[in-house]
Amino acid sequence: MVQAGLERRKPLIKTTRPDRNDVVRVTFVLPEDEPPGAVSVVGDFNDWNPFAHPLRRRANGTRSTAVSVPASSTLRFRYLAEGGVWFDDETAESRDSLGVFITL
């Protein structure tokens, strides 16, 4: 859940087609300043480690990070913002009590 009063534009998740090794690259993208401060994507693909995939600022006004996972994977994840604020991807089609997930 997004912290009260914290407005966000729609985040983006981009995926590639499987490569010859049947690996998909998943890129997590958020606006540069919403929410303010550092943000990481945390999920089962990185053992829920908040230091494994911080989003980095890009020249196009966004911040992003990418992971490579086997095709046909299901990724469970949440975002962790500065100050210990957890939030879900509001554009994700699948959600349960543990957060959001995407199936590749």
**Within a domain: residue 6?**
no
Q: Domain for residue 24, yes or no? A: yes
**pLDDT < 70 positions in the chain:** 1-11
pTM of the model: 0.83
DSSP 20-76: TTSEEEEEEEEESSSS-S-EEEEEGGGTT-TTTSB-EE-TTSEEEEEEEEETT-EEE
Quick one: pLDDT at residue 10?
Answer: 60
> What is the pLDDT at residue 11?
55
User: Quick check: is 3 in a domain?
Assistant: no
> Could you tell me if residue 78 is inside a domain?
yes
pLDDT at 96: 76
Answer yes or no: is 27 within a domain.
Answer: yes
Count of domains forming the chain: 1
Does some domain include residue 56? Answer: yes
User: Is the residue at 51 inside a domain?
Assistant: yes
In a domain? residue 2: no
At residue 3, the pLDDT reads 46
> Which residues span the domain enclosing 43?
12-103
Q: Where residue 61 sits, what CATH number does that domain have?
A: 2.60.40.10
Question: Looking at residue 101, what is its pLDDT?
Answer: 77
Per-residue confidence (pLDDT) for residue 2, from 0 to 100 = 46
